[in-house]
Amino acid sequence: MSNGARVAAPNAGRFHRADALARLAEEQFDVLVIGGGITGAGVALDAASRGLRTALVEKDDFASGTSSKSSKLIHGGLRYLQQREYRLVYENLAERQRLLDNAPHLVSPLPFLIPLFGRGGMVNRSVARVYRTALWLYDLTGGMRIGRRHEKVTREQALAHMPTLDADRLVAGFLYWDASADDARLTLAVVRTAVLDHGAVAANHTPAVALTTDSRGKVLGARVAPDGMAPFEIRASVVVNAAGVWSDEVRSLDEGHNPHSIRPAKGIHITVPRQVFPCDIAAVVPVREDHRSIFVVSWGDQVYLGTTDTEWDGPLDDPSCLPEDIDYILAAANAVTTRPISRTDITGMWTGLRPLLAPVEGRHALSERTSDLSRRHTVRTSDRGMVTVTGGKLTTYRKMAQDTVDAVCKVLGRRTIPCVTKGLRLRGAGEGPHAPARAGGIDPDGPMHMAGGAASLARHLAGRYGTETPDVLALAHGHPELLDPLVPGLQYLRAEALYAVREEMACTVADVLDRRTRASLRDARGAAGVAAGVAALIGPELGWDGDRMDAEATAYGNSLRAQLARAGLDPQPAAGGPAPEGADGAAGSAARASEPG
Ligand SMILES: Cc1cc2nc3c(=O)[nH]c(=O)nc-3n(C[C@H](O)[C@H](O)[C@H](O)COP(=O)(O)OP(=O)(O)OC[C@H]3O[C@@H](n4cnc5c(N)ncnc54)[C@H](O)[C@@H]3O)c2cc1C
């Protein structure tokens, strides 16, 4: 197969969980991937596109781990230059360019402002020199391939992008270019490409609970316990452990003990309305006391800020955002803006765990701080033939997958089949350069037109579905109510929730509101408020009765409110805000009102 060709594999099927589970139970696979974050998704796509019979299981939802909780940057990592990780930055920037080419609908260039502060109109010369040198290095290491070089900007130009920066101290700034992507949708696009275009079989809500072996102890598959179904075994010649921060748990199924090879590092983000911290690009804000920086990123009608970087030894399934994490971000932001952000401004937040590699004895990290641990990845094959991939970044998933599948080929005892993912376009990317992001595949006479046809809504859909946008809108033909917002004040449509269940394997309210859409990250209280309505919309598709709808909605709403409360934020909507739909928990009646027919 030539690079970039999108040829449907002979057994490429639907992206449907029940179909996938039936095939997982029946067929023999070359590779079984455990973990449906970006790493596992990438491995599945790489293996399937090399022609290997490939299966993937995910214990919760695709991207429900770290891969929906990143800073959403596809970047080289300017700060890694400080750590002299030149090769890492070079590789990251090469991958950034491939993603911009292969998923132009999902990955967009993003300008970053580095504001320079000083006294009496003077900036500290050595600080400016350090930035200038780093930015030249960044450009020369591959940054320039985005088509722009860094530039110095005046105080006024910086203020035009971020009007509330402290104008008394702001002297000038630098502008450089990176890229960003919706991490959960990127992960989903990679899994769907593996399944729909290359014949992989993937199921979410299907944990691997044990490994199966032959009489000599070689790993030959896994036992899985899918939600709503009896456990069964999947047969595969090689098992790949791509379980992120849980990979030591999966390794312990193989090795009999936890190797403690991962040092999880917690990072949180908060979201505020754009008018609270007006900006039209992203910025790097220094945290002086800590020799770190946080990002401020424009995100449609919202702005998100993050991240922290602290060691985490609590439960992996439930990393909490604590009041002190929020304080850290607020202090950093409020040190540079004239419109202080308070807790009551925060509408959403998320907390993730970086699967960092613990330093190996003899090879020292720069310090004990997790922020100084390397973002490189490793691939290792155990004595019993399980391949584990750990570390890395969202940005570098493709290279991680390539290295992993090369190791898989060795275990299979086959000549390495060449990797084809460097030029392989993801679902929704279309064929021409940048085609879907620009055109959006939107029919001007279609239901979008009826909905008012706002250009921003077209951009919203094109940036999420690319060439598949018409399939989402087709659901609203004859059902104009599906063009209503899913959450008041956010752009997501009710049709997107239905599409998520029918075509994107969403199985729960959280799958829809946290990952297929990012409603809860933008407006957690709003998302909690519509849980009943969403359960009523998707419940009939999933075979739920009224009790189940109520239970799913209540559990989801309670979980979001508990997260807000743990972070020291008010779980209730501000007085005067939109009345939460279905606040009385009446999913059944909402169902009757909202059924698409
Ligand atoms: C705060 C923060 C900010 C970040 N920002 C960036 C950024 O801007 N850019 C960037 O490039 N990178 C960033 N990263 C790093 C990046 O997000 C991670 O490297 C990447 O998402 C890890 O993906 P993964 O697939 O390895 O892990 P995960 O996404 O955690 O996936 C592992 C999956 O395995 C599943 N699993 C576990 N056990 C089992 C089992 N027994 N059976 C089946 N499934 C199982 C889990 O449910 C999970 O979904 C950031 C990370 C954090 C925490």
The pLDDT of residue 418 is 95
Q: Please tell me the distance between residue 352's alpha carbon and the centre of ligand 1 in angstroms.
A: 8
Task: Say if residue 10's pLDDT is above 80.
Answer: no
Q: Please tell me the distance between residue 401's alpha carbon and the centre of ligand 1 in angstroms.
A: 14
Task: Say if residue 119's pLDDT is above 90.
Answer: no
The pLDDT of residue 238 is 98
86 versus 528: which is more confidently predicted? 528
The pLDDT of residue 502 is 98
Judge contact between 548 and 501, C-beta under 8 A.
no
Ligand 1 mutation target, pool 60, 67, 219, 377, most atoms within 8 A of CB: 67
Judge contact between 516 and 495, C-beta under 8 A.
no
The pLDDT of residue 464 is 97
The pLDDT of residue 373 is 57
Among the listed residues 541, 555, 558, the one whose alpha carbon sits nearest the alpha carbon of residue 497:
541
Q: Please tell me the distance between residue 38's alpha carbon and the centre of ligand 1 in angstroms.
A: 7
Give the range with max mean pLDDT: 117-121, 430-434, 491-495: 491-495
Closest atom, ligand 1, to C-alpha of 40: 25
Lowest mean pLDDT: which of 103-107, 375-379, 460-464, 592-596?
Answer: 592-596
Q: Please tell me the distance between residue 2's alpha carbon and the centre of ligand 1 in angstroms.
A: 30
Judge contact between 456 and 463, C-beta under 8 A.
no
Angstrom distance (rounded) from CA 465 to CA 452: 19
Ligand 1 mutation target, pool 21, 66, 188, 232, most atoms within 8 A of CB: 66
Residue of minimum CA distance from atom 31 in ligand 1: 37
Query: What string of DSSP letters covers 189-254?
Result: HHHHIIIIIH--EEESS--EEEEEE-TT--EEEEEE--TTS--EEEEEEEEEE--GGGHHHHHHHH
End-to-end CA distance of the chain: 43
Angstrom distance (rounded) from CA 143 to CA 575: 46
Q: Please tell me the distance between residue 36's alpha carbon and the centre of ligand 1 in angstroms.
A: 9
Task: Say if residue 387's pLDDT is above 90.
Answer: yes
| pLDDT tens-digit series, residues 458-501 | 899 999 999 999 999 999 999 999 999 999 999 999 999 999 99
Average pLDDT over residues 141-158: 94
Task: Say if residue 398's pLDDT is above 50.
Answer: yes
For all residues of the chain together, what is the average pLDDT? 89
The pLDDT of residue 376 is 84
The pLDDT of residue 452 is 47
Closest atom, ligand 1, to C-alpha of 396: 11
Residue of minimum CA distance from atom 37 in ligand 1: 243
| pLDDT tens-digit series, residues 561-577 | 999 999 999 999 876 55
455 versus 560: which is more confidently predicted? 560
Look-up: residue for tokens 């989801």?
556
Ligand 1 site, CB within 6 A:
34-40, 57-60, 64-67, 69-73, 75, 207-208, 242-246, 250, 267, 307, 352-355, 392-395
588 versus 431: which is more confidently predicted? 431
| pLDDT tens-digit series, residues 251-287 | 999 999 999 999 999 999 999 999 999 999 999 999 9
Q: Please tell me the distance between residue 183's alpha carbon and the centre of ligand 1 in angstroms.
A: 10
| pLDDT tens-digit series, residues 182-202 | 999 999 999 999 999 999 999
Task: Say if residue 230's pLDDT is above 90.
Answer: yes
Look-up: residue for tokens 């993050």?
306
Ligand 1 mutation target, pool 43, 46, 261, 354, most atoms within 8 A of CB: 354
Assign 102 to helix, strand or coil. helix
**344: exposed, middle or buried (C-beta count within 10 Å: 0-12, 13-18, 19+)?**
exposed
Task: State how far the alpha carbon of 454 is from the alpha carbons of 10, 442, 447, 585, in Å.
Answer: 40, 12, 12, 33
Closest atom, ligand 1, to C-alpha of 208: 42
**Sorting pLDDT into bands at 50, 70 and 90, what band is 122?**
confident
Residue of minimum CA distance from atom 21 in ligand 1: 67
Centroid of chain to Cα 213: 33
The pLDDT of residue 358 is 86
Residue of minimum CA distance from atom 48 in ligand 1: 65
The pLDDT of residue 83 is 81
| pLDDT tens-digit series, residues 305-348 | 999 999 999 999 989 999 999 999 999 999 999 999 999 999 99
Average pLDDT over residues 355-362: 77
Q: Please tell me the distance between residue 509's alpha carbon and the centre of ligand 1 in angstroms.
A: 21
Q: Please tell me the distance between residue 551's alpha carbon and the centre of ligand 1 in angstroms.
A: 28
Task: Say if residue 228's pLDDT is above 60.
Answer: yes
Task: Say if residue 98's pLDDT is above 90.
Answer: yes
Q: Please tell me the distance between residue 485's alpha carbon and the centre of ligand 1 in angstroms.
A: 29
Task: Say if residue 423's pLDDT is above 80.
Answer: yes
Q: Please tell me the distance between residue 415's alpha carbon and the centre of ligand 1 in angstroms.
A: 30
Residue of minimum CA distance from atom 18 in ligand 1: 393
Q: Please tell me the distance between residue 67's alpha carbon and the centre of ligand 1 in angstroms.
A: 4
Residue of minimum CA distance from atom 25 in ligand 1: 37
Q: Kindly state the percentage of the chain with pLDDT values over 70.
A: 87
**Sorting pLDDT into bands at 50, 70 and 90, what band is 291?**
confident
Which stretch of DSSP H or E encloses residue 188?
helix 183-192
Among the listed residues 100, 91, 103, 89, the one whose alpha carbon sits nearest the alpha carbon of residue 41:
103
Tell me the two tokens of residue 443.
């029919």
